[in-house]
């Protein structure tokens, strides 16, 4: 189904509930990553990013919650990202969608806890998937050459996804979140995600900003002054 289609979501959930005695869990895994400086991303593209990564999980959760509440059990596992914990340059809208998903999940976790329903966030880092498969095709038209250079560098980094870890570790985390009697609120998965979370806890913002900007090939602000 198309998770951005409200009617399709409602029909799919209705069909599942009509053919199953019980629904144990919902895993909101659909999503895509939009790359581009905030200055370069238009309204339509931004809305598409938020609709798929943020609105759709909320919609599907809303559809299954009455069933979970009736049976006083159920799991909702929302696939967030390390970008839900800290923001990366050139991925502002993607990070915004994952930050939003984290906020909604936190609110929902507290709202439904009294009905025996558990809401879990999985926060993967970089893994060997096709989320960046389109590479440079997904970059918007750059407003200035500094962004264009950063896009080219970003394409080189994301294009080497075959060197990234096997996503089986994320799948195992989801399985654990669905099966363990007492799941954690969050599961950080992957060395870059774990390292990034700790770096943002321990280091000043100016340090992490500089490291991420340099890593993505963004020009230093001093070089832009006349």
Residue 177: CB atoms within 10 A of its CB come to 23
Which is catalytic among the residues 61, 81, 94, 118? 94
Q: Sign of the CA dihedral 41, 121, 85, 157?
A: negative
Question: Which among 61, 81, 98, 105 is annotated as catalytic?
Answer: 98
Residue 171 tokens read as 């799948």
Pick the catalytic residue from 80, 81, 95, 105: 80
Give the whole-angstrom CA distance, residue 81 versus residue 125: 6
Helix (H/G/I), strand (E/B), else coil: 130: coil
Residue 190 tokens, joined = 């992957």
Residue 226, helix vs strand vs coil:
coil
Q: Cβ contacts of residue 169 below 8 Å, gap of 6+?
A: 127, 189, 190
- Verify whether residue 98 is a known catalytic residue: yes
* Nearest CA among 195, 186, 130 for reference residue 162: 130
Decide: helix, strand or coil at residue 166.
coil
- Per the annotation, the verdict on 94 as an active-site residue is yes
Residue 147 known to be catalytic: no
User: Which of 85-119 are b and which e, b meaning 16 or more Cβ less than 10 Å from the residue's Cβ?
Assistant: bbbbbbbbbbbbbbbbbbebbeebbeebeeeebbb
DSSP helix/strand/coil, 205 = helix
- Return the active site residues: 80, 94, 98
């Amino acid at each position: 189904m198309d998770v951005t289609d409200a009617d399709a979501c409602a029909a799919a959930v209705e069909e599942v509930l009509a053919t199953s005695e019980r629904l144990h869990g919902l895993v909101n895994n659909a999503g895509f990553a939009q790359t581009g400086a905030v200055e370069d991303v238009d309204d339509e593209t931004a809305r598409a990013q938020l609709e798929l990564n943020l609105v759709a999980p909320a919609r599907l959760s809303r559809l299954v919650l009455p069933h979970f509440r009736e049976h006083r059990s159920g799991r909702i596992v929302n696939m967030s990202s390390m970008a839900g914990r800290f923001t990366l340059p050139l991925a502002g809208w993607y990070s915004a969608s994952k930050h939003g998903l984290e906020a909604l999940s936190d609110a929902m976790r507290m709202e439904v806890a009294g009905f025996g329903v558990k809401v879990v966030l999985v926060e993967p880092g970089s893994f060997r998937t096709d989320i960046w498969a389109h590479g440079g095709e997904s970059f918007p038209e750059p407003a200035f050459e500094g962004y264009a250079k950063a896009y080219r560098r970003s394409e080189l980094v994301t294009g080497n996804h075959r060197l990234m870890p096997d996503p089986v570790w994320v799948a195992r985390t989801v399985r654990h979140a669905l099966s363990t009697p007492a799941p954690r609120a969050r599961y950080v998965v992957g060395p870059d995600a774990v390292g990034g979370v700790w770096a943002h806890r321990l280091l000043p913002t100016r340090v992490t900003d500089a490291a991420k900007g340099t890593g993505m090939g963004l020009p230093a602000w001093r070089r832009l002054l006349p």
